[in-house]
Structure 1
């Protein structure tokens, strides 16, 4: 057997062992907000690059990388007090419940210590959980996820060598990126070198390392290593944005195993350099299914530097709610590629983008002359600017389908913005409408439907009351009660306008629809959707 073939076989065997026995574990996301500012902290002292890693080979699998990285990975133990209360209960044994409507006589009291007398009693309960983190500087700074430390009243850290530190300081945290920073007062510690997620290519080998700290009979489950590759970059899975509309999602996707307890641990490359923070999984069962996600280290560094210098994250904002461009958008706007970020709504009345003349439905395709592939890249490019600076955006206007430019003065982001609520879809029935929907205007809507759909009499537009789930609009999974107020920039007052506009449409045509969507909480949300009429 040749040396080349033997080396390849060794690599394959090592990889198989790493995947078979690696157990990566990630804490469940809990984004409860807590605000703790930094004060008098030292420069982080980042170690950039791993010179010793340049000479590493994969001849013995991932052993060399693991040996260098594991000592800087820590276990984080967290504790909090929660109040619990006894549920309403009857002191009577089963089968002896009072009949419906029965009331005890005035002045009647149950004996002490019965369930009914304890029903309002609230008792404190200690809640404990754990996660992972990693040391990034000799100054004692430890990086982890926000969701690992959120809500904790006490934080303890155990190092790889067994040293334990109680009541560790929380320097600060950023729910928008799910990054948090702790600090140890200690010398003689291992430090992880920082790599570049920007320069990491899809297909590269990576290791997900954690120290979950789960209690087992022999002791806590500590250092854990799993291997995989970078599956994709710039992923937006809405796991943060569903709770915070200003959240930044620019995840590295990996098939290295990440499960409960591994959150906050490092994702490292073959040189042993950190390129991301293990954060989340996408799963239908709650367990690992091959889709792991990590916060890129460049984003984490920006957050950490701000937390140390200012005690908070200072982030520029253009003030829009945006979605990725899809194939229907590309067809309607005449884009050469399925790229860009479409404006849905504005964050507030004096949004910088709104003041700059941008409109709902406009597509942002570039920032400062650089192209934008989607939401994650738009956020990444805006992060390069400071609040107060002016940035030039390249857009395609929904009203004219022409390219334009807008100068937007950036403001500071507000981390405490309320979460958005996603609309739920309802099943709809078949229809002969070219858009695949059944609609009514104000003259056709009955009184009960005004209440059902939460629309006032005299409304403009048409309301969706049914449709074909396979139709052009049905595929958007819009709930009944959604209003169509505009098609291709033409305002709709009622059925006559609606039918006039759609009468000229046929299979393969692309159009832009402005909607007023009824949300599950009864509120309404403006949105712009592009659709292509399917071939039948």
Structure 2
């Protein structure tokens, strides 16, 4: 997706060296996602306010205001930018965070504390503010400054590390807020404005377009065992300090919360990423109502479809998401979903990448019914799936096992290396060589079976297919490879009309499919 040398970072300003793949502040808050407690005599009133705010956010219709259909000239576009910025910036706040001990004193106490800044968006008139979790993570004090210079100490209501979102509360009423737009209707090429506080320059507005949708840039995975990334990509300038700020359309509707940038310099290079507003709305509503996100899970292990695998499944094109494995006692297994199914859509929304499926499912709660369309045995099948939460023992056990799954240990009787002159077997006439797996291979690739692809000859059928040297060959035409001795038999067919689909795993754990064509042998 991006050049391997390009650095992707969350854009919160902080005193650290730029150049690593990271979310900008340290460790997870250690105790509870609900970080705000009140005295017993105020609790009933607080619960009523929270519930009212949560219902107001959840039940409010999407902001249906639309940008002007036609802008006659540059001045007209300028007027639209101006009016949109004016309607939004009052509801975007400046956040200052103190990270470190909240009690004690003395020289060493002061040296342990540090400050950072970010942005937030008021989403309800009663003072609820959404921001990025990495902005306020491990904060001992959170101060918010409104656009009109009013200052408040904020309390953490709750957070969701899977989406890098957090909700704050300030003691104020009748505040301006940004209405939620429908991010499902955002299109590539439409104008958007980013509003925030880059480099401590408060109430800064930048303009750009939507560059891409459903981006997965692997930035949240450093802070969560179950990351959900379905970013809106924009070239509107987003810089350190913009984290948690608003991405709005020209109607002034919130379509995203700015979260990260891809950069080699540490500042904007035209690649910004925002959490889509429909996911934000779902998370915010749950946090206000319950102090945590109540998320439903399918209970599947999935991967993106390739053209080769689509051909093997009989699909007309590379579409959908492949179910590699599933939990029999979880939502997917109970509903009749099978390993090998290709999920095409959920509730009539097409999914063509794993992160898209995760985002759609994450927008629903335990108990919600989903209409899931899959491709099975050469045709479409529709299933009704009722989502289960982590309070379900099967789901919790399966998730815990997937998250904590250990890398296979090296067997003591296996060598750390191999001797190419004796261990590698040529696979003729296909033009590559394989050897048995070592303990080191199993550890590094996270696999238990397969064979190691030791070399690929130039101008060979394997080279023509793109088979990479240094990968693990796991299956041929859907048959698992357990040893080198199987290879010759599985690749015995070599007439001009035949081909073979090879499934290999790379060092990053991602599987790929390659097609060996017999016609290339002639």
Of 132, 149, 168 in structure 2, the residue corresponding to residue 145 of structure 1 is 132
Q: Structure 2 CA distance, aligned partners of 1:269 and 1:369? A: 25
Q: Structure 2 CA distance, aligned partners of 1:246 and 1:63? A: 39
Of 84, 91, 112 in structure 2, the residue corresponding to residue 65 of structure 1 is 84
Of 268, 274, 284 in structure 2, the residue corresponding to residue 294 of structure 1 is 274
The question of whether the paired residues in 2 share the 8 Å contact of 1:332 and 1:530 is answered with no
| 1:175 to 1:332, Cα distance in 2 relative to 1, 3 A | same
The question of whether the paired residues in 2 share the 8 Å contact of 1:275 and 1:296 is answered with yes
| 1:316 to 1:66, Cα distance in 2 relative to 1, 3 A | same
Partner of 1:382: 361
The question of whether the paired residues in 2 share the 8 Å contact of 1:132 and 1:261 is answered with yes
Q: CA deviation at 1:349?
A: 7.5
Partner of 1:87: none
Q: CA deviation at 1:161?
A: 1.3
| TM-superposition CA deviations, 1:191-221 (whole Å, max 9, x none) | 2232222222221111111024x4xxxxx52
1:75 aligns with 2:64: no
Q: Structure 2 CA distance, aligned partners of 1:322 and 1:145? A: 27
Q: CA deviation at 1:294?
A: 0.8
**Count of aligned pairs between the two proteins:** 445
| 1:153 to 1:435, Cα distance in 2 relative to 1, 3 A | farther
Partner SS state of residue 283, structure 2? helix
Q: CA deviation at 1:174?
A: 0.8
Q: Structure 2 CA distance, aligned partners of 1:440 and 1:430? A: 6
Q: Structure 2 CA distance, aligned partners of 1:512 and 1:242? A: 34
Of 132, 147, 152 in structure 2, the residue corresponding to residue 160 of structure 1 is 147
Structure 1 residues 59-458: aligned runs within 5 Å: 59-60=78-79, 62-81=81-100, 125-166=112-153, 168-212=154-198, 214=199, 220-241=200-221, 243-244=223-224, 246-346=226-326, 350-354=329-333, 358=337, 360-367=339-346, 371-383=350-362, 385-389=364-368, 391-397=370-376, 403-404=380-381, 408-413=385-390, 418=403, 437-441=432-436, 449-450=438-439
| TM-superposition CA deviations, 1:356-413 (whole Å, max 9, x none) | 565554422233565433324323443454323554533335xx56655555442215
The question of whether the paired residues in 1 share the 8 Å contact of 2:370 and 2:387 is answered with yes
The question of whether the paired residues in 1 share the 8 Å contact of 2:195 and 2:205 is answered with yes
The question of whether the paired residues in 2 share the 8 Å contact of 1:242 and 1:419 is answered with no
Q: Structure 2 CA distance, aligned partners of 1:291 and 1:474? A: 33
Q: Structure 1 CA distance, aligned partners of 2:498 and 2:264? A: 35
Q: CA deviation at 1:51?
A: 6.0
Q: Structure 2 CA distance, aligned partners of 1:325 and 1:239? A: 22
Of 39, 43, 54 in structure 1, the residue corresponding to residue 52 of structure 2 is 43
Q: Structure 2 CA distance, aligned partners of 1:264 and 1:430? A: 55
| 1:407 to 1:135, Cα distance in 2 relative to 1, 3 A | closer
Q: CA deviation at 1:150?
A: 1.5
Q: Report the structure, 1 or 2, having the larger helix content.
A: 2
Where structure 2 has 5 or more consecutive residues not aligned to the other structure, the ranges are 1-9, 14-21, 38-46, 103-107, 391-395, 409-419
| 1:80 to 1:451, Cα distance in 2 relative to 1, 3 A | closer
Q: Structure 2 CA distance, aligned partners of 1:242 and 1:232? A: 23
**Which range moved further: 409-418 or 379-388?**
409-418
Q: CA deviation at 1:60?
A: 3.4
| 1:499 to 1:142, Cα distance in 2 relative to 1, 3 A | same
Q: CA deviation at 1:257?
A: 1.0
Q: CA deviation at 1:332?
A: 2.7
The question of whether the paired residues in 2 share the 8 Å contact of 1:513 and 1:528 is answered with no
Q: Structure 1 CA distance, aligned partners of 2:294 and 2:494? A: 48
Partner SS state of residue 234, structure 1? strand
Where structure 1 has 5 or more consecutive residues not aligned to the other structure, the ranges are 1-23, 84-120, 215-219, 520-524
**Which range moved further: 300-309 or 325-334?**
325-334
| TM-superposition CA deviations, 1:171-204 (whole Å, max 9, x none) | 1111111211111101353222322222222211
Instruction: Report which structure shows greater RCO (CA 8 Å, sep ≥6).
Output: 1
Q: Structure 2 CA distance, aligned partners of 1:434 and 1:510? A: 13
Q: CA deviation at 1:460?
A: 6.0
Normalised by the length of structure 1, the TM-score is 0.70
Q: Structure 2 CA distance, aligned partners of 1:518 and 1:351? A: 29
Partner of 2:416: none
| 1:50 to 1:372, Cα distance in 2 relative to 1, 3 A | closer
| 1:272 to 1:122, Cα distance in 2 relative to 1, 3 A | closer
| 1:303 to 1:433, Cα distance in 2 relative to 1, 3 A | farther
The question of whether the paired residues in 1 share the 8 Å contact of 2:94 and 2:120 is answered with yes
| TM-superposition CA deviations, 1:22-79 (whole Å, max 9, x none) | xx96557247322331662253344753869779952436222222211111111111
Structure 1 residues 421-500: aligned runs within 5 Å: 437-441=432-436, 449-450=438-439, 461-467=450-456, 471=462, 479=470, 482=472, 484=474, 486-500=475-489
Q: CA RMSD in A?
A: 4.1
Partner SS state of residue 144, structure 1? strand
Q: Structure 1 CA distance, aligned partners of 2:238 and 2:203? A: 13
